[in-house]
Amino acid sequence: MSAAKAPLLFLPSAVAATMAAWQVQRMQWKQGIVDEATCNMEQQPVNLLQGTVPEFRRVAVQGVYDHSRAAFVGPRPLSYEPKDPAVKLGMRPMLVTPGALKSGFLLVQPLTSSDKQHTVLVNRGWVPPNWKAQWQERFAALQPRGTVSVTGVVQGSEHPSSFVPHNDAQAGDFFWMDVQGIAESFNLPPDTPMMQVLVDETTRTKGEQPSCSEGVYPLPKPIANVVQFSTMPLGHFNYAVGWGCMSATMAYLAVQVLRKGKR
């Protein structure tokens, strides 16, 4: 083989090495987000109404829900398996219905402070699909009245891919979490903050007291599942190892071909 063509043998190895390096970068970036979120959630809750709070910071607020307004974001699957036996029992009708868990929604409502000076958006958790269709006729009446104490974390807007449909606020269709869009649909300022209610599955404590008077819904996300990616840092690590091994193997084979060519 000519000296000019010899470097081409190492091209596959170089491509695999580049992919391995990219996976390492993605792993480090996502791990940084996870670490920051974990640090924020370990701190004591602060009052969300007292100023700007970073995403994933633990917050608390007291106020009254406006049950005449509700946004249902989805459809989307329940992204975790509840550990609380009581929750599993309450979900049994959903669990035995094929495909039912693939079409739920995240329930978002405005909550106004006791002095009526501030309003925040609250992602209360996952609800079955019939909640959207029967909200005013049935489920709104089951929600907590009067002052509610809510704890959770600050939540920002999602960044959907090009395959996700556009939200239609006028039709009440929100396919992805758009904090500003939901706030404007409620005639609230576009900078209205949003918080996400959480549940501590260790103590089975729900970050909303009191909550719905019937059943287990809305289902808040567990604290351990707040930061989720389609590929978590460990997944990127495994991919990086795979690409790295592939790069080393192809480099070894290229060297063997060159040695045979010199004989």
Q: Are 219 and 162 in contact (CB under 8 A)?
A: no
Dist CA 48 CA 41 (whole Å): 14
Q: What is the mean pLDDT of residues 127-156?
A: 91
Residues 33 and 241: their CA atoms lie apart, in Å, by 22
For residue 247, give the nearest of 22, 70, 6, 2 by alpha carbon.
Answer: 22
Planar angle of CA 218, 225, 154, nearest 5 degrees: 70
At residue 155, the 3 state secondary structure works out as: strand
pLDDT of residue 112: 94
Where is 232: in which H helix or E strand? none
What's the pLDDT tens digit per position in 64-79? 999 999 999 988 887 6
Average pLDDT of the segment spanning 91-107: 61
Q: Return the H-helix or E-strand segment holding 16.
A: helix 11-42
Check whether 225 has a pLDDT greater than 90: no
**pLDDT above 60 for 250:** yes
pLDDT in the model for residue 203: 58
Helix, strand, or coil here: 6?
A: helix
Strand residues in 82-203 grouped as ranges (E): 104-113, 119-127, 148-155, 194-200
Average confidence (pLDDT) over 158-186: 90
pLDDT of residue 168: 92
Please determine, for residue 91, whether its predicted confidence score (pLDDT) is greater than 60: no
Amino acid identity, position 95 = L
Q: What is d(CA 178, CA 227) in angstroms, rounded to the nearest whole number?
A: 17
Which amino acid is located at 261 in the chain?
Answer: G
Q: Which two tokens stand for residue 143?
A: 């929600």
Ramachandran area for residue 44 (φ above 0: left; ψ -120 to 50: alpha; else beta): beta
DSSP 130: H
Question: Of 51, 75, 175, 193, which is closest to residue 123 (Cα–Cα)?
Answer: 193
The mean-pLDDT minimum among 88-92, 101-105, 170-174, 203-207 falls in 88-92
Mean pLDDT estimate for the chain = 83
**Of 21-30, 70-79, 202-211, 227-236, where does mean pLDDT reach its minimum?**
202-211
Q: Indicate the burial class of 155 (C-beta count within 10 angstroms; 0-12, 13-18, 19 or more).
A: buried
Between the ranges 90-104, 157-171, 190-204, where is the mean pLDDT highest? 157-171
User: pTM of the entire structure?
Assistant: 0.75
User: What token pair was written down for 220?
Assistant: 């808040």
